[in-house]
Structure 1
Amino acid sequence: MADRIRVAVVYGGRSSEHGISVVSAGSVLKALDPDRYDIVPVGITPSGRWVLTEADPTALQIVGRTLPEVEKGTAVVLNTDPESAGLVSIDPGAAAQLLETVDVVFPLLHGKFGEDGTIQGLFEMAGIPYVGPGVFASAAGMDKEFTKRLLRDAGLEVGQFEVLRRGRPYSAVDLAHLPLPVFVKPARAGSSVGITKLTDWADLDDALAEAFAHDDKVLLEAGVDGHEVECGVLEDEDGLPIASLPAEIRLVGDHDWYDFEAKYLDDASEYDIPPNLPGDVIARVRDLACRAFTAIDCAGLARVDFFVRPNGEVVVNEINTMPGFTPISMFPKMWAATGVDYPTLVDKLISAALRRAGR
């Protein structure tokens, strides 16, 4: 198996989405063909320590309502010398040792220090190909303010929003034009972490406190009445974006919006692929997903989230440059419905990363 591709699956990380990243990694590790890939599992602990792990996929799962966590392993760092880029063992009491070089990295990291361009810059310095978009698109896609500004500049419709920054004064008058409900959310977080659905302006301070606990910048987004629709995007062999069949998320049970518990813990959602929408609206969603992908200079993959109003108008909500790969994540489900199963999807992403690097 000398010709196997050595792929480092990097997961965990320092963000509030650590556990979801670990679950995503379990699914990807299970899908990687060991006859084709030499797998190097690299976990990042919540404190930021890099460790080589055994990464048994069966252990990287949600148990009840408890998310898994990276805890221990052989300590390593990434050597950023492009001529010998690889992982260096730094276990205490032992001499630093350069491990074998890595052909490509699959960074299954969500949120801060993983999906925001920071680790992408590290891989660029090391000269290691990696799955997903580059530094700029990762940073722009992570920051909901600048995502919306870039999409709006490209002629795509986005909802009404306002931006507040920690320590800067604001006036309720400046916000009153936003029709309730308003979603108060950290500008640079995902998985619905830190988000409050605001239905009374009297509760604004509490909602801001929750959001500012996760970021120094907060978005207030006016709710959009309509279908909540997602669409996956991949790049083809020519580097052009192609869109999956979209999916519509429908809540069941007691949840009135798609929060973290509804997504991952309570089995409180159902979905339709494709949505029960007219064919021309579905075609427009797929076209806009590709346009959004291009608008932020994305590469590799993305999931684009939309609202479809009752009159058929399509509003772009946000773009996720490293969507979840958990067993319940919509990105792989949409591609499976489009004819690309999970192992093939992973193969395509790794091949695209190597192709962009000329490998």
Structure 2
Amino acid sequence: MTTASTRVLLLFGGRSSEHSVSCVTAAGVLRAIDRERFDVIPVGITPDGEWTRVKSNPDEWSLRGTSLPVVPHSGESIRLSKVGEHFEVLSDQLDADHETVLSTTTLGTVDVVFPLLHGPYGEDGTLQGQLELLDIPYVGSGVAASAIGMDKHFMKVAFEAAGLEVGPYEVITNKQWLRSPEEAIARLESLEYPLFVKPSRAGSSVGITRVEDADGLREAIEEARRFDPKVVVEQGILGREIECGVLEGRGSDHARASLPGEIVVEAGAHTFYDFEAKYVDGSAAKLSCPAVLPEDAIKSLQELAVVAFDAVDGEGLGRVDFFYTPDGRWVINEINTMPGFTPISMYPQMWDKTGLNYKDLITELIDLALGRKLGLR
């Protein structure tokens, strides 16, 4: 269990296209975390990968209209060092060119890392591997689960192996596209329109295009490739978009599933739940929680969400997204091992409706991390 002296390194920003989304998530956690139980050290990662100490004021990291927050260079570089059984946070003062260390000071020890990073180089197992090498506890899934949960291709493979229903899709690797774009596009003829063309390893709907006919495919694939050389093309599924939050069980307990939430995109400028609808246009979508569903459908969804979480070997938290078809089937779309985590994001909302408020959810995730075995598990 946590104590008043528990020091949490809150890590956000990062190198991915979801940098600003991560900052907004951090603002929510900074406002809500229990300051009587946790001493918070906020550390930002700049878009080019430098760790730096940042202000703990959540207003610094919040959306301001359409202005997206970005972690700036500060002239102070942060690194973690293991000293015996303790983990120390060191601050290096840099020269004006950010090349030479002028002096080094310690910010003290840290007990657990809370990585609020979305996308590659944070949510995909790379950071998790670094923390594993240091033997430092951290919130969320481990290396394998993070990597699988970030890659829409391998995620689907894991789901299919677990017996979950996955919609029709095709994968276009970088080499396949470079060898012959025509052959890659020809393979898509087996799919029915509309199609959704997605970067395989990106989130927050970045780089996704809805395509109504073959004329738009090449441009959509090139757009997705701006964010990831591997592209997943999915056949559109007719159904309601329903989500379920999963929370790791304590000890040997089974994972827990929340009440469901539903995304309803309002008619107008957005044909699907894209980045603008999620973060910029506040009137573009309605998040309904709990979603109105038959009791037996909710029970089935919760069971399938836990299956999906276990299929990727999830830890800590995960949000599992499904389509609920008119004939009552659950078709899985994806899992997010670090879902949107602001107070108004679907994951915290679903748990709030289930009986665990935002502040207590943060505490529970930190407790789970501190109680988890380090190393192979």
Give the TM-score range, shorter chain.
over 0.9
Structural mapping, 1:29-68, within 5 Å: 29-68=30-69
1:43-88 CA distances to partner (integer Å, 9 max, x unpaired)? Answer: 0011111011122012211111111111133311222566442222
> Residues 133-282 of structure 1: matches in 2 within 5 Å?
133-168=141-176, 169=180, 170-238=183-251, 239-254=253-268, 255-267=270-282, 268-282=284-298
Q: Distance in 1 between matches of 2:35 and 2:266?
A: 39
Deviation at 1:175, TM superposition (A): 1.0
Letter matched to residue 86 of structure 1: E
* Kept after mapping to 2: 8 A contact 1:111/1:190: yes
Find 2:114's aligned residue among 85, 97, 106: 106
1:76 paired residue number:
78
Counterpart contact for 1:82–1:127, Cα < 8 Å: no
Deviation per CA, 1:218-239: give whole Å up to 9, x if none: 0000000000001000012234
Report the count of equivalent residues.
358
1:82–1:125 contact (8 Å) kept in structure 2: no
- Say whether the 8 Å CA contact 1:53–1:72 is kept in structure 2: no
Name the SS of the counterpart of 1:85 in structure 2: strand
Deviates more, 1:202-211 or 1:249-258: 249-258
- Partner of 2:333: helix, strand, or coil? strand
Q: In 1, distance between residues paired with 2:23 and 2:102?
A: 28
Aligned partner of residue 176 in structure 1, secondary structure:
helix
97 and 275 in structure 1: CA distance in 2 versus 1, 3 angstrom threshold = same
Identity rate, percent:
49
Which amino acid counterpart does residue 165 of structure 1 have in structure 2? T
Q: Kindly indicate whether residue 348 of structure 2 is the aligned counterpart of residue 340 of structure 1.
A: no
Structure 1: gaps of 5 or more residues: none
Give the residue type in structure 2 aligned to 1:151.
F
> In structure 2, what is the Cα distance between the partners aligned to 1:187 and 1:88?
35
Change in Cα spacing, 1:338 to 1:162, as seen in structure 2 (3 Å) is same
Q: Partners of 2:261 and 2:172 in 1: how far apart?
A: 32
* Cα distance in structure 1, aligned partners of 2:35 and 2:184: 58
SS in 1 for 2:35: coil
One-letter amino acid of the counterpart of residue 262, structure 1: A
Measure, in 2, the Cα distance between the counterparts of 1:83 and 1:310: 55
Rounded Cα–Cα distance in structure 2 between residues aligned with 1:91 and 1:4: 27
Residue 82 and residue 187 in structure 1: after superposition, are their counterparts in 2 closer, same or farther (change >3 A)? farther
2:262 maps to a residue whose letter is E
- In the other structure, the counterpart of 1:301 is 317
Distance in 1 (alpha carbons) for counterparts of 2:264 and 2:344: 14
Q: 1:274 to 1:51 in 2, by over 3 A?
A: same
Give the AA of the match of 1:75: S
The Cα offsets for residues 270-326 of structure 1, whole Å up to 9 and x where unpaired, read as 122222221111111111000000011001100000000001100010000000112
Whole-angstrom CA distance in 2 between matches of 1:66 and 1:348: 32
With 212-221 and 170-179 compared, the bigger mean Cα shift is at 170-179
Give the match's secondary structure for 1:230. strand
Instruction: Return the alpha-carbon distance in structure 2 between the equivalents of residues 153 and 212 of structure 1.
Output: 27
1:87 is matched with: 89
Could you tell me whether the CA contact under 8 Å between 2:3 and 2:37 is conserved in 1? Answer: no
Cα distance, 1:172–1:198 mapped onto 2, change above 3 Å: same
Alpha-carbon RMSD across the aligned residues, in angstroms, is: 1.6
- Take 1:97 and 1:58, find their aligned partners in 2: how far apart are those partners? 27
Find the residue that maps to 2:362 and give its secondary structure.
helix
Distance 2:365 2:254 in 1: 13
Aligned match of 2:123: 115
Distance of aligned partners of 1:15 and 1:172 in 2 relative to their CA distance in 1, 3 Å threshold:
closer
Q: TM-score, normalised by structure 2?
A: 0.92
Q: Distance in 2 between matches of 1:352 and 1:256?
A: 38
Contact 1:115 1:321 in 2 (8 A): yes
Match of 1:128 among 129, 136, 149: 136
For the 8 Å contact 1:76–1:91, the answer to whether it is kept is no
